[in-house]
Amino acid sequence: MLETARRYRKRKESPVEETRRLLDAIKRDTLNSFITIDEQGALLSARSAEDLLDREDAGVLAGIPVAVKDNICTCGVRTTCASEILADFVPAYDATVVKKLKDQGAVILGKTNLDEFAMGSTTTTSCFGPTRNPWDPSRTPGGSSGGSAAAVAAMLCAGALGSDTGGSIRMPASFCGITGLKPTYGSVSRYGLVAFASSLDQIGPMAATARDAAVLFDAIKGHDPLDSTSALHDYAPTDLEGIDLRGVRIGVPKDFFGPGLNPDVKSAVLSGIAELADMGAQVVDIRLPHVRYGVAVYYIVATAEASSNLARYDGVRYGMRSGESGGLRNMYLQTRSKGFGAEVKRRIMLGTYALSAGYYDAYYRKASQVRTLIADDFRAAFSLCDIIAGPTTPVTAFRLDEMVDDPLSIYLLDIYTIPANLAGLPALSIPCGFDSRGLPVGMQLMAPHFREDLLLGAGIAFQDRTGHHKVRP
């Protein structure tokens, strides 16, 4: 992204030339990373960016080609959530993050593939077919922001936006060997993001490097009066040169290095933490005693909120409609039966059950209480350290046909990413090495609320030293 901006300013390439090159590459793409390509809109934005670059006040993003996950609204360009029920939905407005990118001259190439309604960890539940991993097309790119991750890793765009409810930015970033940031809850507007679980969802940047991710984050962060959950906060600027890690305390939770962790992943992450120590960081042991309940808590809270949010898709107001000749009840039944995929139906039913009379106190209320305990664990841990480091995922990218009939095993893949969402914390996944098959491994860094500058600064310093981010598929 920054390299593209430098080429523009040296007149080695124009935004129109770069946009055309990438649009041609996307059309030839066999990874299925995009659902919709906005060729006309992208070229129009690129021509406008060329005029903008002649001005001294042109920002870094002027003419930079980016992609947007297809659960983020784009005016005049369909937003499908990779679901039959919204396959032809075209929003009449831009999400706040999209508007911010456009205002700064970015070029939106199109909309990327995802698990249906962002519910999944593989990008295989999309009604448009699975996305494939650029490192090995027989393997998953992770999910649910797998299309954005694959597009960045395959160099089909300079950066992308994803959404993260329980790890949906960080897991695909880890599987595809790129950088992904889940910001603090409330630091980036959710206006225009199609809701999955409203207390957990967060839009964030995905890029080849932490430096580029910082540029995207700085462009989209900030208070938005259109989002009632948007935070009023004075954000520290990100130092694009990285930070000095001498004296920075890195907390390593033993709870993240149990028997379920793949040995190759464990080795790569511990090597990454050792590298941070060699750079001057102080490594300290910490405990997060309640994170072992994170997956159970998440799949009660998230499914409960999903069952409420997805009740609006009934064939009445927008989206597909089926069975209306049989009366209202039949229309509801037929529309939702045909429009939703199996994973979405599963989560709606789980959430409806957890909220039903007689079960609310036993499940949802108890899960909310344990969620508070998990947040308390992090507050206690951050009194002992500045950054928490551990694995992003317990495994590397697996085959597309693996675990397809085992949803519980797939749910457990989010064991290390879910706690940051439950506590509303910022978390960053950066490449830290490879497994024995040459597949990338991600290391996750977490920081206190609104300390994205600390995470990104540490990520930049780590990548400048190790160069893991320069190895591409």
pLDDT tens digits, residue range 330-359? 999 999 999 999 999 999 999 999 999 889
Tokens 């930049």 — which residue? 460
Q: Is the pLDDT of residue 129 over 80?
A: yes
Number of H helices, E strands in the chain: 15, 11
What percent of the chain is predicted at pLDDT more than 70?
100
Active site residue 230: no
Query: What was the pLDDT predicted at 465?
Result: 96
pTM of the model: 0.96
Catalytic residue among 45, 148, 168, 189: 168
Q: Is the CB of residue 320 less than 8 Å from the CB of residue 84?
A: yes
Query: What was the pLDDT predicted at 455?
Result: 98
Q: Is 414 left (phi over 0), alpha (psi -120 to 50) or beta?
A: alpha
Q: What is the DSSP letter of 164?
A: E
Catalytic residue among 33, 45, 144, 322: 144
Contacts with 130 (C-beta within 8 Å, 6 or more apart), sequence order: 32, 122, 123, 124, 140, 400
What spatial distance separates the first Cα and last Cα of the chain, rounded to whole Å?
18
Q: Is the CB of residue 164 less than 8 Å from the CB of residue 170?
A: yes
Active site residue 221: no
Q: Is the pLDDT of residue 406 over 90?
A: no
Strand order through the sheet with 34-37:
34-37, 107-112, 65-69, 159-164, 202-207, 179-182, 427-434, 440-446, 387-391, 249-253, 282-286
Active site residue 14: no
Query: What was the pLDDT predicted at 33?
Result: 98
Segment 300-305 mean pLDDT: 98
Nearest Cα neighbor of 248 from 387, 379, 447, 426 is 387
pLDDT tens readout for residues 75-96 = 999 999 999 999 999 999 999 9
Q: Tokens representing 391? A: 């694995």
Q: What is the mean pLDDT of the chain?
A: 96
Helix axes 210-220, 96-103, angle to 10 degrees: 110
| Domains identified in the chain and CATH numbers | 1-473 (3.90.1300.10)
Query: What was the pLDDT predicted at 404?
Result: 79
pLDDT tens readout for residues 35-79 = 999 999 999 999 999 998 988 778 899 999 999 999 999 999 999
Query: What was the pLDDT predicted at 237?
Result: 83
Catalytic residue among 33, 69, 99, 187: 69
